[in-house]
Amino acid sequence: MHIALLSDVHGNLPAFEAVLTDVDAASVDEIWCLGDLVGYGAEPDACVELARDRCDLCLAGNHDLVVTGEIDIADFSSSAAAAALWTREHIGVESLEFLSTLSPRQDDRQIGLYHASPRDPVWEYVLSLWQADECMDLMKPRVAAIGHSHVALWFRRAGEGQMEGDTAEGGLKRDLSDGEWLLNPGGVGQPRDGDPRAAWLLLDTEGWSAEWRRVEYPIEAAARAIEDAGLPMVLAERLYKGQ
């Protein structure tokens, strides 16, 4: 099966639409989102509605959970907390009801799915080899996907326990047929790996391969929506830098 893995949409409708156009051109069988449909961006309802219509599976991210009231806003940075409060005030009832049905993990698929990590599906940022190694100890499937960090990356553990991993530039392809793997598609709505283009991952679970994709989108439209909403300007400015 060919699966489009997405994560960290964060209310960025122009980026989400651009990614879905690219996904459609790839003729995937299903679209799976690893969480954070809302958060820093100014169009939460439109993004939730699009996810509800287009995604075959959605997880809950920490930004979704704070909007539904399941986690404490005190755990967020000042700009993230401001965006969460704004989203709570502006999100529609149907969107809130949809987010309330989501979980930050699913273990019943061919691959493991976690918003953040297998050992902490809400909060852990997996960015190092030692973290990935410890997370793999808790994975039931051989391959798992994570989001949350907004960084496109891969980790592999060979049969003898040797770890390797790196960030994943757009166009990178990896053969997943051997070893254990932890994959991050990168961020749709707010990449943080220095590439401002929206990110997603094309996963083939029959041939066991992965391809990281990057998509140009009108950043200025997303930034203008943030500015017009009165959200912190840093949330708009960082979109141009991919940070």
74-83: average pLDDT: 93
Average pLDDT over residues 61-68: 98
Residue 232 near residue 76, CB atoms below 8 Å: no
- Residue 57 in contact with residue 29, Cβ under 8 Å? no
Q: What is the pLDDT, as a whole number, of residue 94?
A: 97
| Amino acid sitting at position 46 | A
Question: Model confidence at 236, in pLDDT bands (50, 70, 90)?
Answer: very high
The pLDDT value recorded for residue 69 is 95
Domain that holds residue 184: 2-241
Average pLDDT over every residue of 17-36: 97
pLDDT digits (tens, 9 = 90+) for 224-235: 999 999 999 999
Q: How far apart are the first and last CA of the chain?
A: 32
Measuring CA to CA, which residue among 227, 231, 210, 229 is closest to residue 219? Answer: 227
Q: What is the pLDDT of residue 107?
A: 86
pLDDT band at 159 (very low <50, low <70, confident <90, very high): confident
Q: Where are the alpha helices (DSSP H) in the chain?
A: 13-25, 44-54, 62-68, 78-90, 93-100, 129-136, 219-229, 233-241
Q: How far is CA 71 from CA 43, 61, 65, 74, in A?
A: 21, 11, 6, 9
Instruction: Give me the mean pLDDT over the 39-50 stretch.
Output: 97
The count of domains in the chain is: 1
> Measured at the alpha carbon of residue 211, what is the angle toward residues 151 and 48, in degrees to the nearest 5?
60
Say what the pTM is: 0.95
Which CATH number does the domain housing residue 65 bear? 3.60.21.10
- Rounded mean pLDDT, 158-184: 95
Q: What is the pLDDT of residues 193-216, one digit of tens each?
A: 999 999 999 999 999 999 999 999
